[in-house]
A and B are shown apart, each in its own frame.
Chain A
Amino acid sequence: MRLTVNGEPQEVRASTLEALLAELDYEGSWLATARNGELVHAEDRGTCLLTEGDRIEILSPMQGG
């Protein structure tokens, strides 16, 4: 299915957010995820079902002022 991941179009096989992270080679306990503008907790990624056109954000700590 086609998703938008961090602003880029992606064609993926994954059906859950957890599988998406694995498929796209994201790993790390420091990641935060959102689906269509809403936070998805790390423990909920396995049950977060993806649908065509979802907008996924995968964020990570960085320097800030």
Chain B
Amino acid sequence: MLTLYGKQLPSHLLLGTAQYPSPAILADAVKASGTAVVTVSLRRETAGGKDGGRFWSLVRSLGVAVLPNTAGCHSAKEAVTTATMAREVFGTNWIKLEVIGNHDTLQPDVFELVEAARTLIRDGFAVFPYTTDDLVVNEKLLEAGCEVLMPWCAPIGSAKGPLNPDALRSMRGYFPDVPLIVDAGLGRPSHAAAVMELGFDAVLLNTAVARAGDPVAMAAAFAKAVEAGRSAYHAGILEPRDMAVPSTPVIGKAVFS
């Protein structure tokens, strides 16, 4: 079980809802992934528009928890206002807090992020911060009251997989009791397995599933990889060795010369 802000969840995979070929494929991918949490967003509605209502009906029919995001915000103030609007619409105090600091890399502006986290937590939000793997920043987020940390492992949508596994390993070692979720940068199931093998508690995926040739099949593949990585971590993984070590016992080996 994964426990996030006191809520027990049966799956260690969180799934985004953007970029699927159709709403039906999104719904099937959610089911195939086994996820219990999907991310959603807010955008400007057009006059007379009904798209938002249709999408919200679909998400509610999936029977999973929603984690609204503040995607596209570039300042603490923008993110805080978006979060309060999301709470009103989606009826949850959970918020995936994104404050973007760079257009090209979509990396978080960690200074605005910490400020926004402080404000939102004072206002009763359960903040899921999209952050970097910087230990000092993550300590500040915990001091602000975050109970979950969500570092990127590579730029959003890049599909590069973990660029700095050592930093992720350090986070696991430094914050042994904090739920850690890799958010952003995963491209294939082996990437998800790799970060789960490091002891991460969950992964948050979107593009890697939604833009796959067959999103539903890829959602199922990621679900297996996440479980495999998690099981391996708990089973105790053999550390690499510098020299060969024979796996077949040498004692009792016949000598012919």
Contact = CB atoms under 8 A, between A and B. Distances in A.
If over half of B's interface residues share one DSSP class (helix, strand or loop), that class is named, otherwise mixed; here it is mixed
Interface string B23-54: 00010000000000001111111011111110
Contacts of B90: 61
Among B16, B26, B39, B49, residue most surrounded by chain A Cβ atoms (within 10 Å): B49
A59 B82 CA distance: 9
B89 A64 contact: no
Contacts of A61: 40-42, 52-53, 55-56, 59, 89-90
B77 A24 contact: no
Among B44, B59, B77, B86, residue most surrounded by chain A Cβ atoms (within 10 Å): B44
B206 interface: yes
Interface in B10-27: 16-20, 26
Contact of A63 (B45, B50, B55): B55
Contacts of A42: 88
A65 B69 contact: yes
B131 to A, nearest CB: 16
Given A59-B89, A64-B71, A65-B206, A39 B84 contact: yes
Interface string A16-48: 000000001110111111100111011000000
Contacts of B59: 61
A19 B17 CA distance: 33
Interface in B74-88: 77, 81, 84-86, 88
Given A32-B86, A39-B88, A60 B206 contact: no
B86 A60 contact: no
B161 interface: no
Contacts of A64: 16-18, 39-42, 68-69, 71
Contacts of A37: 77, 81
Nearest to A62: B43
A41 B85 CA distance: 8
Interface of B: 16-20, 26, 39-45, 47-53, 55-56, 59, 68-69, 71, 77, 81, 84-86, 88-90, 156, 206-207
Interface of A: 6-7, 24-26, 28-34, 37-39, 41-42, 57-65
20 contacts: A24-B47, A26-B48, A28-B50, A30-B56, A32-B86, A37-B81, A39-B81, A57-B85, A59-B45, A60-B42, A60-B52, A60-B53, A60-B89, A61-B41, A61-B53, A63-B19, A63-B41, A64-B16, A65-B16, A65-B206
